[in-house]
Amino acid sequence: MKKNNKLRLASACLLVMSLTPKLHAQEQLVLEMKDHSKATFVLADKPKLSISEATLVAKDSKNNTKEIALSDLVRYYFSTEQPPTGIHPATTGKVRPSLANGHVYYEGLQEATLVRVIALGGQEIARYKVSGDGRADIDLTRLAKGVYLIQAGKNTIKISNQ
């Protein structure tokens, strides 16, 4: 009796595992445009690229097609990406800095965004450009004590350096 139950349990587990989609990384071709939008094609779907006049045409075996003006194409690369888990990161639509050890850290900014430190009198104290990974590290330890505005693109925060 116990042997039959174990056999049934093992069979049920195998059945469930065979019906569950496999979660594994997918290799992709990524096409990135000037407006920072991206078109991705899974390599397993055998994307084919062709150029007609000044347009790049990408089409895969599932008939997903993307036409891109060559002048809009910034770069292309191959990426290995994990499949979606159904859990989406929380987004508020605003860039939120983090504060630690006399530094203000930004993440998720667009490359080359200007970050400025401004005294309450209006004079610009420091200027930073966001790196390619979208990060900026604002070092407040070098500034005199006081209240400053930090402007990153359209977002501004007020900070007290003590």
Decide if 59 is inside a domain.
yes
pTM across the whole model: 0.42
- In the chain, the amino acid numbered 19 is L
Please report, in tens digits, the pLDDT of each residue of the chain (162 residues total).
555 655 566 555 555 555 544 455 678 888 888 888 888 888 888 888 888 888 888 888 988 888 888 898 888 888 876 555 555 554 445 567 888 888 888 888 888 889 999 998 889 999 988 888 888 888 888 888 889 999 998 888 888 888
Do residues 122 and 69 both lie within one domain?
Answer: no
Decide if 14 is inside a domain.
no
Residue in 133, 131, 130 with CA at minimum distance from that of residue 152: 130
Task: Give the residue numbers spanning the domain of 146.
Answer: 98-161
CATH number of the domain bearing residue 34: 2.30.30
Contacts of 23 (CB under 8 A, 6+ apart): 82, 83, 85
Last residue of a domain, one of 83, 109, 126: 83
Decide if 9 is inside a domain.
no
Decide if 91 is inside a domain.
no
Decide if 66 is inside a domain.
yes
Do residues 77 and 102 both lie within one domain?
Answer: no
Contacts of 30 (CB under 8 A, 6+ apart): 38, 39, 40, 76, 77, 78, 79
Do residues 154 and 126 both lie within one domain?
Answer: yes
Do residues 68 and 117 both lie within one domain?
Answer: no
Do residues 61 and 112 both lie within one domain?
Answer: no
* Number of domains present in the structure of the chain: 2
Strand pairing class (26-33; 38-42)? antiparallel
